[in-house]
Structure formats: C-alpha cells, structure tokens
C-alpha cells in the first residue's frame, strides 16, 4: 500500500472515489430548492428501501396489520443516489440529509422525525405497540435498539464500504471491519441462543431495527459477503432471520421504496394498501405496454 502523509489541513479537492462518491461532501444544508410532495394520509414517509429505510416501512406495515388505521402512510421515494436528500424540503425535515424521515400530519402542527431509531420509538409510543412499557423490558428493548444504531456504521460504513464499495481493496481496512462485523454477529448470535426475539420473548422495534442489517447479512443480501463472513455459522441469527422474514408485514415493508432486485419486489411509492397488488414495477411496466 503506498504511504500517505496527511497535509496540515484537509481540503476537499477531489471526489473520494468508490461507489456513492458523488453524494459524499464535507458540508451540510440544502444544495437545491425542492419542496416535498404531501399525500392524503396522516403519516408521510420520505425514504428509500435501504436497511435503514426498511426498518420504518416494516413498523408501519406491522401497525396496519394490527388494525391501526392511523398508521396509514404515503411513502415517497427519495433517490439518495441522485441527491434528493439535499433538496430544501427534505433538509427541512432532516437536517442530516439521510433517509428515512417522517412527518406526522395527524395533529394541528406537523411533527418531523428523523433518525430511524427515533422514528421507531415515536411510532411505538404513538400507537402503544412493539415497545414494552414495563421498565426492565423497555430498557432491554431500547438497549438493543441503540446497539443497532451504534453498530450499523461499522457494518455498513466500515465493512460494507471497504469490502464492496471502496475503489481499491485495502487489506488493513477489510481485516479491521470484517473482525468487527463477525464480532457483532457473535454478539447477536449469543443473545438469540437464549431468546426467541432479540429483546426477549416478544417481537419489538429492536427486531425491526436489527433485522434489515443483520438478518439481511445472514441471508446473504448485503455486500455479497455471506461466504467471506461465513454467516451460516451463526445458527441462532439464521433461525431468527427466517422467523422475522416469514412475517407478511416484513415482506411488504421490504418492498416499499425499493429500487433494486426483481421488478415484482419493487414498490417505488406506496399510497394505498392495494398498491402492493397493482403498483409494483412489473405491473407498472405491463400497464405501460
Ligand atoms: N443513523 C441514520 C442513518 C441513515 C442513513 O445512513 N441513511 C443512508 C441510506 S441507508 C442515506 O440516506 N445516505 C445518503 C447520504 O449519505 O447522502 C438512521 O438510522 O436514520
């Protein structure tokens, strides 16, 4: 590896290279003027079907499956690869310019919520579901939720970035983050050895936050790394990943704002429960022909 001596002061002189380099920049704030669309439902979600986005669509679909009509939502697609997260309307609801972001328009004043973990807690508290109220069980659930929020940057921004997206393969970086990704898988595997769901005997927002990342990794959906990390060895994670994947609301949640994979699995925007039957990309293509 060629040596690099950092200069006295770092300056942004060239794109960093690698996938997503076009959306990386060292400054925040809006980059262009663009208002956000608003649909007819109480909740407006602005997102894309990445692991962080899917956490929220799973939660909304689970709430709807329980009959909470107040959880009806419009899901608008924010194409992060095209820089939609830097539009003025989006930055107004998430100054951090990252999906997902939610606006609750059910009350007299719209409430914005950003950060996927905060959105899960907000919805759990609003509807009184999927976050235990007993102090100990609540602490366990929130501990695992925050574990996920703290772990994902190492898995995605560390391992995923250097293994799959960086412009060159750097052994030091891949070793460092593969070690951490496997350590995190082992943490989860040990927890799931004695617990049906992550935070205990019931399904909670901790499962919804952790599954899109570590369930996805276990099922071989992330970074083409299933073999490299030997994910099949984490037997309890595998059991749990399948258990969550079987849930109909999880299957629907995975489809919303999804822009890759089979056209029949991609529902770019969701404005009605019936859209899963009629508005997936394969159906829209058929209708256009
Ligand atoms: N901690 C944030 C992370 C959100 C995040 O990293 N979102 C990514 C997609 S998964 C994003 O919007 N990236 C666009 C960008 O970085 O410009 C959360 O959990 O909501």
Q: 47 C-alpha vs ligand 1 centroid, how far in Å?
A: 10
> According to the model, what pLDDT value does residue 2 have?
66
Q: How do residues 48-100 score in pLDDT, each as one tens digit?
A: 999 999 999 999 999 999 999 999 999 999 999 999 999 999 999 999 999 99
Mean pLDDT of 101-106: 98
Q: Does the global pTM surpass 0.95? A: yes
Mean pLDDT of 161-179: 97
| Ligand 1 pocket residue status of 52, Cβ below 6 Å | yes
Residue nearest to atom 5 of ligand 1 (CA): 98
pLDDT tops 80 at residue 196? yes
Q: How do residues 108-163 score in pLDDT, each as one tens digit?
A: 999 999 999 999 999 999 999 999 999 999 999 999 999 999 999 999 999 999 99
> According to the model, what pLDDT value does residue 21 have?
73
Q: Which atom of ligand 1 is nearest to the CA of 157?
A: 6
Q: 99 C-alpha vs ligand 1 centroid, how far in Å?
A: 5
| Ligand 1 pocket residue status of 85, Cβ below 6 Å | yes
Q: How do residues 9-46 score in pLDDT, each as one tens digit?
A: 999 887 767 777 778 889 999 999 999 999 999 999 99
> According to the model, what pLDDT value does residue 88 have?
98
Q: Do 154 and 214 meet the contact criterion of CB atoms below 8 Å apart?
A: no
| Ligand 1 pocket residue status of 55, Cβ below 6 Å | no
Residue nearest to atom 4 of ligand 1 (CA): 98
Angstrom distance (rounded) from CA 139 to CA 132: 9
The two tokens of residue 101 are 């972001």
Question: Residue 186 half-sphere exposure, CB side, CA atoms within 13 Å?
Answer: 8
| Ligand 1 pocket residue status of 99, Cβ below 6 Å | yes
> According to the model, what pLDDT value does residue 1 have?
59
Q: Do 132 and 141 meet the contact criterion of CB atoms below 8 Å apart?
A: yes
Q: Do 117 and 52 meet the contact criterion of CB atoms below 8 Å apart?
A: no
Q: Which atom of ligand 1 is nearest to the CA of 116?
A: 20
Q: Which atom of ligand 1 is nearest to the CA of 97?
A: 17
Which single residue is written with the structure tokens 């293994």? Answer: 163
> According to the model, what pLDDT value does residue 4 have?
87
């Amino acid at each position: 590896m060629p040596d690099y001596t950092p200069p006295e002061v770092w300056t942004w002189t060239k794109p960093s290279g690698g996938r997503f380099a076009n959306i990386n920049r060292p400054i925040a704030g809006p980059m262009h003027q663009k208002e956000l669309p608003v649909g007819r439902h109480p909740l407006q979600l602005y997102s894309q079907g990445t692991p962080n986005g899917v956490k929220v669509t799973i939660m909304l679909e689970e709430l709807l499956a329980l009959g909470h009509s107040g959880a009806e939502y419009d899901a608008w697609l924010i194409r992060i690869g095209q820089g939609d997260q830097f539009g003025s309307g989006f930055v107004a609801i998430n100054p951090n310019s990252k999906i997902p972001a939610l606006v609750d328009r059910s009350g007299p004043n719209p409430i914005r919520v950003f950060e996927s973990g905060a959105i899960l807690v907000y919805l759990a508290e609003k509807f009184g579901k999927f976050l235990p109220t007993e102090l100990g069980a609540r602490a366990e659930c929130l501990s695992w939720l925050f574990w996920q929020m703290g772990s994902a940057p190492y898995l995605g921004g560390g391992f995923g970035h250097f293994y799959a997206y960086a412009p060159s393969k750097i052994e030091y970086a891949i070793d460092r983050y593969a070690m951490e990704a496997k350590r995190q898988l082992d943490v989860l595997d040990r927890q799931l050895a004695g617990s049906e769901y992550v935070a205990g005997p019931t399904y909670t927002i901790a499962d919804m936050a952790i599954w899109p990342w570590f369930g996805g990794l276990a099922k071989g959906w992330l970074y083409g790394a299933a073999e490299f990390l030997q994910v099949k060895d984490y037997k309890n994670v595998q059991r749990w990943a399948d258990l969550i994947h079987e849930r109909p609301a999880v299957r629907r949640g995975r489809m919303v704002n999804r822009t890759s994979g089979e056209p029949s699995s991609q529902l770019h925007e969701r404005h009605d429960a019936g859209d899963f039957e009629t508005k997936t990309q394969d159906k829209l293509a058929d209708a256009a022909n």
